[in-house]
Amino acid sequence: DVKVTQSSRYLVKRTGEKVFLECVQDMDHENMFWYRQDPGLGLRLIYFSYDVKMKEKGDIPEGYSVSREKKERFSLILESASTNQTSMYLCASSEAAGQGVSDGYTFGSGTRLTVV
């Protein structure tokens, strides 16, 4: 069964810590995405990557960075965690544009991060 795996389901970190959220996909997808989900705001795109070592800012990149050293792995980094980054973080992957009919995204199970 193909899937997207996020390394942690729940995470509690202290303000100011550097936080790494890991995501691995086994579908050989070109695109990978990080979203945060907050009540009433839906899913907001933080960063995405369309190839190894390539990245693009989404709608809310401030306070975050990403790393994609291998095709299957996409990491989200909170450089200095703050309480307003407490949220549910969702990773997803998809085929590249133009590769035929797409089923949209495949999502990981999410990481619920609490910053205290």
Dihedral angle of Cα 96, 97, 102, 104, to the nearest 10 degrees: 80
Please classify residue 113 by burial: count the beta carbons closer than 10 Å to its beta carbon, then call 0-12 exposed, 13-18 middle and 19+ buried. buried
The residue whose two tokens read 């991060």 is: 113
Q: Quote the CA–CA distance of 58 and 61 in Å, as a whole number.
A: 6
- Smaller CB separation from other proteins, 45 or 77: 45
Q: Which residue has the tokens 């899913």?
A: 43
114 binds other proteins (CB under 8 A): no
Told to check if 102 binds other proteins by CB under 8 A, we report yes
- Minimum CB–partner distance for residue 22 and other proteins (Å): 15
The stretch among 12-20, 48-56, 60-68, 75-83 that binds other proteins (CB under 8 A) is 48-56
| Residue 1 interacting with other proteins (CB under 8 A) | no
Q: In the set 8, 60, 86, 107, which binds other proteins (CB under 8 A)? A: 107
Cα distances (Å, whole numbers) of residue 98 to 35, 44, 69, 102: 23, 24, 24, 9
Does 110 interact with other proteins (rule: CB under 8 A)? Answer: yes
> Binders of other proteins: how many residues, by CB under 8 A?
30
Residues engaged in binding other proteins (CB under 8 A): 4, 6, 9, 31, 33, 40-43, 45, 48, 50, 56, 90, 92, 94-97, 101-110, 112
